[in-house]
Amino acid sequence: MQPKPTTPLVSQHVSHRNVWMIAAPLMVSNVSVPLLGIVDTAVVGQLPGAQNIGAVGIGALVISLIYWIFGFLRMGTGGLTAQALGAHQQTEVRAVFGRAVIVACAIGLAIVVLQWPLTMAALTIIKPSANVRDLAETYVTIRIWGAPAALANFAVLGWLLGLRKTRSVLWLQLYMNGTNIILDVLFVLQFGWGVEGVAIATLIAEVSAMGVGFAIVRHHARHLGGEWDFQRVVDWPRIRTLMSLNRDLFIRTLCLEAAFVGFTSVGARMGDNVLAANLVLLQFLSFVSYALDGFADAANTLVGASVGARDRARFWQSVRITTLWAAVFSLGFTLIYWATGSAIIALITVDPTVRATAENYLVYIVVLPIVAIWGFELDGVFIGATRGTDLRNAMLISTIAYGLALWFLVPVYGNSGLWISLLLLFVLRAATLVVRLPAIDRSLTTPPQ
């Protein structure tokens, strides 16, 4: 058994400064992701016709559907790393990363092998028009070769988050997304490669970022203590714990992805202009979710360390302070979108019909931040506590209710019904998790078995 260090590896107290030291770099880092999506959309938006925006949006959604189903590689790795760190088990901290990378590479290779049926299934579900479908298929066929690197990057980011190495996360994300943006502009606007250029830019950025990420991990491992122990990495009881958590997070993420696929699919059946307008507005949601995920990630890290140390007071401090700042920022986003939403739409697309359609539904994006923030924040809390079963059950209930809302509201209210259903999904995500908070509290006051 590894002795505990005399100096704590993590702070025993949670303050506003602690939260900001974690959240601030993560917010900058996370915002670079939707900024990339906005640049992707804006670059192809300079090309004539709505089909280019639709193709990149659909193609990116298909890749997200495939990749983010395995988002547990980031979420679960972060929670388990933070708990091992809180328990002062440095060798286990290293082993968590090893297990995650092995699983990531295996899944990534399987995705490459199965790329054709996965792509066809996703496009069949979404059912875009023929013009959009052909371009979207080209985009996915290029991007999917980066699956092993993309999933390995999930493991790297989760491990660094668990260690609170948020500056490293920031630099890695800025490198990957900055490279992507530069290549986007070069390949599309200079070389004229269109949708294919956007896909090639992202593929190059993801593969190169994997190499940079592994170098960062090696650097931090040198200062961590402990050792790389392959037998511990492949220890079956720990693998079983990892797979149990990953199974629940997999189902949770699958439900969330199904909800957004359903949203896009229903919108696509309303025509290319409605589809393009909804995809433009989803860039607003993407920006909010990634920015506010900085606080959710801070909650993940701080709650994980609290649970690892079985410190009830620190747990509730983590929940209260991260939630307070997340709520403040969500209100700020609502005010910004209310004041500048139309101008942002005009920057993203030059198509007058798409602009007008998007502005008709802007009100839903204005209220969305103050509705969605509670689900984002509670996700971070429950992932840090590795309460995968609670996350799975909450998302299953919310997704079923969302499907029923689509069934009843869309035929009556059209695209407005679609957006109202999405808002309901976020409300239910929060409500079904908040009732399970006392269970985490009880686990911290019960002596370990």
Q: Residue with structure tokens 């999917």? A: 144
Please tell me the predicted confidence (pLDDT) of residue 5.
43
Mean pLDDT on 118-145: 82
Please tell me the predicted confidence (pLDDT) of residue 152.
93
Q: Residue with structure tokens 């009881």? A: 237
Please tell me the predicted confidence (pLDDT) of residue 435.
93
Q: What's the burial of 408, exposed, middle or buried (CB within 10 Å: 0-12/13-18/19+)?
A: exposed
Cβ atoms 226, 90 nearer than 8 A: yes
At residue 15, does pLDDT exceed 60? yes
Please tell me the predicted confidence (pLDDT) of residue 34.
54
- Express each pLDDT in 385-417 by its tens digit: 888 889 999 999 999 999 999 999 999 999 999
- Express each pLDDT in 155-197 by its tens digit: 998 899 888 888 898 889 889 888 988 998 898 888 878 888 8
At residue 198, does pLDDT exceed 80? yes
Alpha helices, DSSP H, located in 115-235: 115-126, 130-143, 147-162, 166-184, 194-224, 230-233
The CB-based long-range contact list for 285-290 (8 Å cut-off, 24+ gap) reads: 285/365, 285/368, 285/372, 286/33, 286/34, 286/37, 286/38, 287/31, 287/34, 287/35, 287/38, 287/333, 288/330, 288/333, 288/368, 288/369, 288/372, 289/34, 289/372, 289/376, 290/30, 290/31, 290/33, 290/34
Evaluated on CA atoms 122, 127, 130, 136, the torsion sign reads negative
Q: Residue with structure tokens 């004229």? A: 192
At residue 10, does pLDDT exceed 60? no
Please tell me the predicted confidence (pLDDT) of residue 50.
64
Provide the percentage of residues in the chain whose pLDDT is more than 70: 91
At residue 1, does pLDDT exceed 80? no
- The pTM (predicted TM-score) of the whole model is 0.71
Please tell me the predicted confidence (pLDDT) of residue 7.
40
**Residue 133: what residue type?**
R
Please tell me the predicted confidence (pLDDT) of residue 162.
83
- Express each pLDDT in 68-122 by its tens digit: 778 778 877 887 888 788 777 788 888 888 888 888 898 999 999 998 888 888 7
Number of Cβ within 10 Å of residue 437's Cβ equals 18
- Express each pLDDT in 281-315 by its tens digit: 988 887 788 778 888 888 888 888 888 778 888 88
Enumerate residues 6+ apart whose C-beta is below 8 A from 174.
28, 29, 32
Cβ atoms 217, 156 nearer than 8 A: yes
Most confident by average pLDDT, 23-32, 240-249, 386-395: 386-395
**Residue 385: what residue type?**
A
Q: How confident is the model at residue 32 (pLDDT cuts 50, 70, 90)?
A: low
At residue 6, does pLDDT exceed 60? no
DSSP state of 336: H
